[in-house]
Amino acid sequence: KLSIRLQEVGGFVPQDAILLDIGSDHAYLPIHLVRMGRIKSAIAGEVVQGPYDSAKSNIAAFGLSDSITVRLASGLAAFDPEIDGVDTITIAGMGGHLIADILGEGQEKLAQISRLILQPNNGEWYLRNWLQAHQFQISHEMILTENDKLYEIIVASPSKTLIELSEDDLRFGPILRREKSEVFRLKWQSELRAYQAILSQIPVSAADKRQDFLEKIAKIEEVLDVSK
């Protein structure tokens, strides 16, 4: 059964999309979406031979080799914008830095993409900052837990009239920080405890460093409305 994390990623894929799933591993996500009648076709991109082979055999086992193509390639090299008609890209289960690097390496190929659905395991600030710097507007965000892990999903589209993100938006998520869901609170309460633990170890003599952490803590408390 598909993880809740990947089901939620798939939920943001537009109906009848032509999908490129980068780092597809077993190709579970494109297989799920084709079987649900959600997408027209998909390319599953994988840079490592083992996962590439398992994607291929899974797709064949479901009889979906006509609608899902597997390509052994790094990042955006898996598709040709003039031939493949890809309009949606998913990249899930990697660090935010790696996701941004993958997008940055073939940036001119993103011109025809209408939606990016990204699920960074960390480095969310960096990824949001990259999106902003490259004219992508975040349209949806989601935070969820599965097996005691926290995951964020960031959905973005190219935009000529970008609404600039504040430092708080970059850090907490422009949509997540306004929604303040239960899971969002859990994440930042745990970050808060971690920062407080670090602060308690910083000697009073390191005043600048203490100040730095005090500011980080105050910011999280503000977002969590701790005083209320």
Give the chain's end-to-end CA distance (angstroms, integer): 41
Q: CA 37 to CA 179: how far, in whole Å?
A: 31
70 is a site residue for ligand SAM (CB under 6 A) = no
8 is a site residue for ligand SAM (CB under 6 A) = no
Among 10, 30, 51, 120, binds ligand SAM (CB under 6 A): 51
For the residues of 17-70, what is the DSSP string, one character each? EEEEEET-TTTHHHHHHHHTT-EEEEEEEESSHHHHHHHHHHHHHTT-TTTEEE
Residues 6+ apart with CB under 8 A from 30: 19, 21, 24, 39, 42, 44, 59, 68
The least CB distance from residue 221 to ligand SAM, in Å, is: 33
* Closer residue to ligand SAM, CB minimum distance, 99 or 220: 99
The least CB distance from residue 91 to ligand SAM, in Å, is: 7
Minimal CB distance residue for ligand SAM: 23
Among 13, 70, 100, 102, binds ligand SAM (CB under 6 A): 102
- Find the length of the chain: 228
Among 11, 93, 104, 123, binds ligand SAM (CB under 6 A): 93
92 is a site residue for ligand SAM (CB under 6 A) = yes
DSSP character for 184?
H
Q: Give the interface segment with ligand SAM, choosing from 12-20, 39-47, 60-68, 191-199 (CB under 6 A).
A: 39-47
* Closer residue to ligand SAM, CB minimum distance, 78 or 131: 78
75 is a site residue for ligand SAM (CB under 6 A) = yes
Chain position carrying tokens 């009848």:
16
What would the two tokens of residue 85 be? 């008609």
* Closer residue to ligand SAM, CB minimum distance, 53 or 168: 53
Sign of the torsion angle spanned by Cα atoms 27, 33, 35, 39: negative
Sign of the torsion angle spanned by Cα atoms 149, 25, 50, 46: negative
The least CB distance from residue 146 to ligand SAM, in Å, is: 11
Q: Which residues bind ligand SAM (CB under 6 A)?
A: 6, 22-25, 45-48, 51, 74-75, 92-94, 102
